[in-house]
Structures are given as C-alpha cells and as structure tokens.
Amino acid sequence: MYQSLLGSALVAAAFVLLGQAARVVHDWDIGYLTVNRDGYTTRRAIGVNGQLPFPPVYATKGDTLVINVHNSLDLPTSIHAHGIFQKGTNYMDGAGLITQCGIPPGENFTYEINADQAGTFWIHGHYSHQNVDGLRTPLVIYDTEPAALEYDEDMLIFLEEWYSNEFSVRMAEVLNPLVPFPPPPSFPYGLINGINGNDTAPITFVPGRKYRLRVINMSSTEWFKFSLPGHQLQIIEADGVDSVPHTVDGLDLGPGQRYSVVVTAHDTDQYNYQFNATLYANFVPFIPGMNPRYYQGLIEYKTGAPVKTIAQGDDRQMEWSDDIVLKAWDRQPLMPVDKTFNWTISSKKYSNNITLAILDEIPFQPPLVPPLFSAMSMGDLALNDTIYGPQTRAHVLRLNEVVEIVIHNPTILDHAMHLHGHDFQVTEYGPSGTQVDPDAPPIPVRKFSEWPMRRDTFVVPAFHYAKVRFHADNPGVWMFHCHMDVHFAMGLALTFVEAPDVLQKQQTIPQGFFDMCHRQGIPTSGNGAGNAGFNLTGLPPIPN
Ligand SMILES: *[C@@H]1O[C@H](CO)[C@@H](O)[C@H](O)[C@H]1NC(C)=O
Ligand SMILES: *[C@@H]1O[C@H](CO)[C@@H](O)[C@H](O)[C@H]1NC(C)=O
Ligand SMILES: *[C@@H]1O[C@H](CO)[C@@H](O)[C@H](O)[C@H]1NC(C)=O
Ligand SMILES: *[C@@H]1O[C@H](CO)[C@@H](O)[C@H](O)[C@H]1NC(C)=O
Ligand SMILES: *[C@@H]1O[C@H](CO)[C@@H](O)[C@H](O)[C@H]1NC(C)=O
Ligand SMILES: *[C@@H]1O[C@H](CO)[C@@H](O)[C@H](O)[C@H]1NC(C)=O
Ligand SMILES: *[C@@H]1O[C@H](CO)[C@@H](O)[C@H](O)[C@H]1NC(C)=O
Ligand SMILES: *[C@@H]1O[C@H](CO)[C@@H](O)[C@H](O)[C@H]1NC(C)=O
C-alpha cells in the first residue's frame, strides 16, 4: 500500500517534470532569397523558409530545442546557438569545420540543443559566415525563476547591420593581393527588428507598466548605441548572465553582445517619446550621413500624442553600459587563476601580399580534420596541442583549470571576442600600445569592483587590453574568435581543447555527424591532417 502510494507520487512527479520540459521544434529550410531589407538595395541573402527576418526562437529553461535543418544552399551550412554552453553535447555547437563538417547541400540534419540556461541569446549560421548574409535570429530562453527586477512585459529589440553586397564579395576584396589593404570601407545600413531602422514599428508603452527590453546586437562589424531618451534603463542581464540591477542612460553593444534592461513607463500618456539607435564604426572617419548613421523610432504611449524629443547633450556625459561596473547577480567571487594566456592582436601582410589577422602567432585556419574528431580519436595524444596542426592554434586545457586571457589590442579597431561553451568573468581594462592621436586622453586602468560580471562576448577597445577568466568545466573543443566576421575570416581565432581525456569518456558523437563528413570526403579520425601520431603531412602550408 505504502509502496504503491509512493509509486504513484513518483509517477506524478515525473509527469509534472516532463510536462514542464518541452521539446520546442522548428523546421528550418535554409536557402537563398532576394530581398530589400534596408530600403536601398535588393540583393541575394540567406533566410529560413523563404523569410528574412525569420521568427525568433523562444523556449523555457529546461526545454530541448529541436531544429530540423534542410540545406537548400549550394554550400554546406551549420548553426550555432551563441551563448549556449552545450554541456555534454559539444558536437551540437555547430562550429563549422571545428565541431562538425557542414550539412551538405540538399541534405537534412536535426540539432537538439538543451536550453539549460535562461537569458537572451541568438542562433546563427557558423559556416562560411552565413550569419552576415542573414542567417541569424534571436533566441530567448525564459527563466523559471523570477528576475532581479519585476516587469510586466518582455520585448525584443534586435539590431543588425546590412551590407549592399554579400560577405563573400567583401571578403574576396579584403583577401585580394591586388587591392591595397584595407579596401575602402563599405558603410552598412542599420536594421532594427529586421527592417530599416527608421521604419521600425513603434514600441508601445502603457503608462506605469514595466518592460524588459532584450537588446541584441547581431551585427558583424559595426557598433550600436541604443537609448530611450527620457527613460532610464536598468540593466539586469548581459549575455545570458543576470546582473545586479544597474541604471544607465544608454547601451553600447559590440557584435554578438546582448543586454536586458527594465524600463518603467511614465505614468501619463501625455507624450510620446523617441528611441535612438546609432550605428557607428570608430575606426573609420566621421562621414556625415554614413558614419555614424542615426535611427529613430517612436515610443508610443498614445496614438497622435505630441512627441517629446530630448536633446542628447554630450555623449560622453551620458552613462553607457559598461561590463566592468556591472556585478554578477549570483555574486560569484573572482576565481583564482591556474593558467594565463597573453595574446596581442595584430595583422601582417604575407609574402603573397595578402593581409591576415593574428591572435596567437599565426592566422587561424581550420585543419583537415575538425578538431573535435581529432580530440575524440587520438587517445592520450589528444592531450598534446601539436597534433591538431599549427594553424588550429589549439590549446589543451585540463579539467577545472581557471584560465585567464589577456588580450592586447594596440590597433585602431575595437574587437569583440567570443568564446564558445563558456562565459568569462570580465576583470580589467587598461591601455595598450600608443594611440595615434597624441591629444587623445590617456586610457585609465579600470578593474571590476566586486562579483565580476560574466558574459560570453567581450569587447577589447582600440588601444586597450582586456582581462577575463573562465572555468574549464566543460570538456569539448571550443572556438575563441573575434565576432567581427571579416577579422574571423582573416584568421583572428583559436581553439581551446578542454579536457579531451574526459571528453572521450563522457561524450559520443552521433553517427549523423560522421555521415556528413564522409559524404564530403572529410576524414573523421587522426590528427589535424588525418594521419597517425605527429605526422602532419598534408596540411596546407602556413603563410610566410
Ligand atoms: C528534409 O527536409 C525537408 C524540408 O524540411 C523535408 O521536406 C524532407 O522530407 C526531409 N527529408 C528527409 C529525408 O527527411
Ligand atoms: C553591434 O556590434 C557591432 C559590431 O561589433 C558594433 O559595430 C555595433 O556598434 C554594435 N551595436 C550595438 C547596438 O551594440
Ligand atoms: C533616420 O531618421 C532620422 C530622423 O528623421 C534622420 O535624421 C536619419 O538620417 C535617418 N537615418 C537614415 C539612415 O536615413
Ligand atoms: C536622439 O537622436 C536625435 C537625432 O539624431 C538627437 O538629436 C538627440 O540628441 C538624440 N538624443 C539622445 C539622448 O541620444
Ligand atoms: C603580455 O603582452 C604584452 C604585449 O605584447 C606585453 O607588453 C606584456 O609584457 C606581456 N605580459 C606578460 C606577463 O608576458
Ligand atoms: C606583391 O606586391 C609587390 C608590390 O606591388 C609586387 O612587387 C610583388 O610581385 C607581389 N607579390 C606577389 C606574390 O603577388
Ligand atoms: C607534444 O609532442 C611533442 C612532439 O612529440 C613533444 O615535443 C612535446 O613535448 C609534447 N607536449 C606535451 C605537452 O606533451
Ligand atoms: C605521413 O603521412 C603521409 C600522408 O598521409 C604519408 O604519405 C607518409 O607516409 C607518412 N609518413 C610517415 C613517416 O608515416
């Protein structure tokens, strides 16, 4: 009697748990389409089910996201859930030629992604930079626990830049030895929620209500600033990590970064307001109408109410989002360091007259065997960095090491660095190199105050260094790269091979991943060149 009662209680509990964790299924036919997104240019782009933008993905923490991909492109494809840790499922990370071969043209593949984290993320193509041509959409994972601040409604604002030509065309120019480097900049337009930033539908506010705005920067090169003049923004999340609420005047987001802010609507509907979004690149000169580009839209309290515009004043006197001043809501203390890497971003013109970018001695290039397959098949040798091939820039980590990364950026470009499978504690910014402008104010050293904020994408501003730390608690092969796709394609990337000994025991790559490689003639075992031991014969030469 007692046993059967207990039995039915257990069944009921299991049923409730199953009832909560859903399978969220999407069918994505990834293909080309011809669109005019910015109001200026009609061009070929990459969308899903014939749409661009295509619908954001929503799930609740604990759900499994199932994405059935059909590849209608004439190139392989893959998708990456940016910011999702993929604990125990490294092979679902979608990093093309790192954790998987691409899905061949005409074929299907199903991703199963565990939504174990809550927050604001995005899903994007991670093969041949297809994200830049449109293959990107927000991913919102609702929490099952209350947020740091209460709010009544949840809204998405996603920012993108949009170029007049395809990424491959721009990249061919960057890598053309006959075109002086850098080629002339192309000034993209800004899209807000998928359309020309000035045509974005009004954001409707009801007096007295509180809104959580999830602002996502899905750009590939340019920065955005976003503000709602006349309203304060209380940051409660950055990149899927909750923060102690912190009030700012505006958000400044690098590519790949996200913030959630809570905004309290005014208590009357006497006025409407504007939102401001500025798309800018600090590495090209100010050119009126091109850099920066200003976008505005309406915060609508009541149709037809007069618009209260608020003059900006001095940009530098506004408080913009800044991860070094944020504090992690879970109050995780600073982790003690086991291992430090100190890298300097640079670029170099090689003997073939092609300029490539360098993070770690030489430009990154994928090896012949995706490193996840080398890590799984090479036994004890998987613990040795050299077997992955020199251009993979592989760094083997031991389980549970705390790794500090110091990135020096003595260049005139900001860089947005993203690590797969992890978030970082952001601990310090300071000066690096010599600024071009002798009158520029000196760059101060700035350190976190307490409970360093964590995020998955950090910006190393021009002439700065940045220091971050992460915990190697996620066996797998994880890319670390600049999220500005031109720089990534020029080689600004490396890989961490985390606890391959544990990975080999813990995970089994599903057969479908082997099939994809075999159909493209890509080997799935051996070192980076597909050979035994340390024989790397067959890898392409390193640029000299
Ligand atoms: C592949 O996906 C397409 C589009 O979703 C579907 O129509 C087709 O039946 C799938 N093919 C197979 C073999 O599953
Ligand atoms: C988005 O990222 C791009 C590329 O780093 C950057 O130029 C742009 O300013 C960012 N936009 C926002 C709103 O942060
Ligand atoms: C957007 O509209 C504002 C206000 O009318 C205007 O100043 C700005 O130039 C427009 N932006 C673009 C890119 O056309
Ligand atoms: C908002 O944008 C308008 C037009 O560019 C500008 O005049 C105003 O100063 C901006 N306000 C803020 C607070 O950024
Ligand atoms: C790290 O690299 C920078 C730039 O090359 C250099 O100035 C600094 O001394 C290095 N720090 C350490 C601890 O090696
Ligand atoms: C590189 O450019 C230089 C100067 O224009 C030229 O003399 C040389 O032949 C070029 N080398 C290659 C490999 O194209
Ligand atoms: C990796 O292998 C190379 C070549 O055999 C050897 O020189 C090196 O010491 C090894 N590294 C480690 C960390 O075992
Ligand atoms: C190294 O690999 C190449 C290409 O697979 C092969 O031809 C060669 O025999 C190997 N060398 C040794 C010493 O095993």
Torsion region of 251: left, alpha or beta (phi above 0 gives left; psi -120 to 50 gives alpha) = beta
Ligand 2 pocket, residue 217 CB under 6 Å: yes
What is the amino acid identity at position 142? Y
Ligand 7 centroid – CA 491 distance (Å): 25
Q: Under DSSP, is residue 138 helix (H, G, I), strand (E, B) or coil?
A: strand
Q: What is the pLDDT of residue 314?
A: 66
Task: State the Cα–Cα distance between residues 85 and 116, nearest whole angstrom.
Answer: 8
Question: Does residue 117 sit within a domain?
Answer: yes
The verdict on the CB of residue 535 being under 6 Å from ligand 8 is yes
Closest residue by Cα to atom 13, ligand 8, is: 535
Nearest atom, ligand 5, residue 343 CA:
2
76 occurs within a structural domain: yes
Same domain for 257 and 164: yes
Q: What is the pLDDT, as a whole number, of residue 69?
A: 98
Q: What is the mean pLDDT of residues 124-144?
A: 97
List ligand 3's pocket residues with C-beta within 6 A. Answer: 198, 293-296
Please tell me the residue having the least CA distance from ligand 2 atom 6.
223
* SS3 state at 10: helix
| CA Rg value for the chain | 23
Residue 254: which domain range? 154-317
Residue 339 C-alpha from the chain's centroid: 25
Q: Quick one: which atom of ligand 6 is closest to the CA of 352? A: 13
Output the residue whose Cα is nearest ligand 4's atom 2: 276
Is pLDDT above 80 for 14? Answer: no
Nearest residue (CA) to ligand 6, atom 8: 353
Same domain, 187 and 272: yes
Going by their DSSP bridges, the two strands 293-300 and 203-204 should be labelled as: parallel
378, 380, 383, 384: residue to mutate for ligand 7 pocket, most atoms within 8 A of CB: 384
Tell me the pLDDT of the chain averaged across its residues. Answer: 93
- Structural domain tally of the chain? 3
Task: Specify the CATH number for the domain of residue 361.
Answer: 2.60.40.420
- Which atom of ligand 4 lies at the shortest distance from residue 249's CA? 13
Average pLDDT for 315-331: 90
Q: Are 91 and 372 in contact (CB under 8 A)?
A: yes
- For the chain, what percentages of helix, strand and coil (3-state, to nearest 5) are there? 15, 40, 45
pLDDT beyond 80 at 8: no
Give the Å distance between the CA of 285 and the centre of ligand 4.
Answer: 20
**Tokens 């859903």 -> residue:** 22
Q: Contact, 140 vs 147, CB < 8 A?
A: no
Q: Looking at the structure, do residues 269 and 403 belong to the same domain, yes or no? A: no
Q: What is the whole-number distance in angstroms between the Cα of residue 353 and the centre of ligand 6?
A: 6
Please write the tens of the pLDDT for every residue from 120-129: 999 999 999 9
The pLDDT of residue 255: 76
216 and 262 inside one domain: yes
Render 218-263 in DSSP notation, one character per residue. Answer: --SS-EEEEE-TTS-EEEEEETTEEEEEEEESEEEE-TT-EEEEEE
Q: Is the pLDDT of residue 13 over 70?
A: no
Q: Give, using CA atoms, the residue closest to atom 2 of ligand 1.
A: 70
Residues 362 and 238 in one domain: no
If asked whether residues 219 and 246 sit together in one domain, one would say yes
Residue 527 lies in a domain: no
Residues 236/331, Cβ–Cβ less than 8 Å: no
Give the residues surrounding ligand 6 with Cβ less than 6 Å away: 177, 352-353
By three-state DSSP, how is residue 430 classified? strand
- The pLDDT tens digits of the residues spanning 448-503 come to 999 999 999 999 999 999 999 999 999 999 999 999 999 999 999 999 999 999 99
Which of 286, 317, 348 finishes a domain?
A: 317
Instruction: Tell me which amino acid residue 231 is.
Output: H
**Residue 316, pLDDT above cutoff 80:** no
Count, residues in the chain? 544
Q: 145, 179, 202 — which closes off a domain?
A: 145
* Residue 527 CB–ligand 8 contact under 6 Å: no
Report d(CA 41, CA 322) in Å as an integer.
35
Instruction: Kindly state the average pLDDT of the residues 336-349.
Output: 98
Please indicate, yes or no, if residue 334 is contained in any of the structural domains: no
- Show which of 92, 124, 145 is a domain's final residue: 145
C-beta of residue 462 within 8 angstroms of C-beta of residue 282: yes
